[in-house]
Amino acid sequence: MQMKIFVAVLFVTFAFFISGVSIAELGNMDQAEAKAKTKFDHVGLAELYEKEAKEMSAKVEEQKELLKEYEEHSEYYGREGQDFHAHHEALLRKYMKAVERNNEMAAAHRRMAGKGK
């Protein structure tokens, strides 16, 4: 049991390491926004949001490919096919919303950088 927990924790840590996103960075985004005062702070935040939007766009494309493959070969999935389809449609909507939100935040910070001192 302890070995399974250890492996799970190790896997999550490795996933964060591979993704290039630190746990501290995830928690500090609100703080970074609150502390942003200069034009360069807002430009940096806009670039972070644009990077995140690009990553989410890649995930959107991945989900579209999975759904396309399912629609072309739904007979391969059997009874679990409907669950597969619903799950990936939900992920697609979630990622599309994330892309939209990140692009909005990037645009807002670009506007703030334009008004900055």
pLDDT of residue 22: 42
Residue-wise pLDDT tens digits, 75-96: 888 888 889 999 999 999 999 9
pTM of the entire structure? 0.68
What confidence tier does 24 reach under pLDDT thresholds 50, 70, 90? very low
- Tell me, letter by letter, the H, E, C secondary structure of the chain: CHHHHHHHHHHHHHHHHHHCCCHHHHHHHHHHHHHCCCHHHHHHHHHHHHHHHHHHHHHHHHHHHHHHHHHHCHHHCHHHHHHHHHHHHHHHHHHHHHHHHHHHHHHHHHHHHHHCC
**Per-residue model confidence as pLDDT tens digits over 28-82:** 666 777 777 788 888 888 999 999 999 999 999 999 999 999 999 988 888 888 8
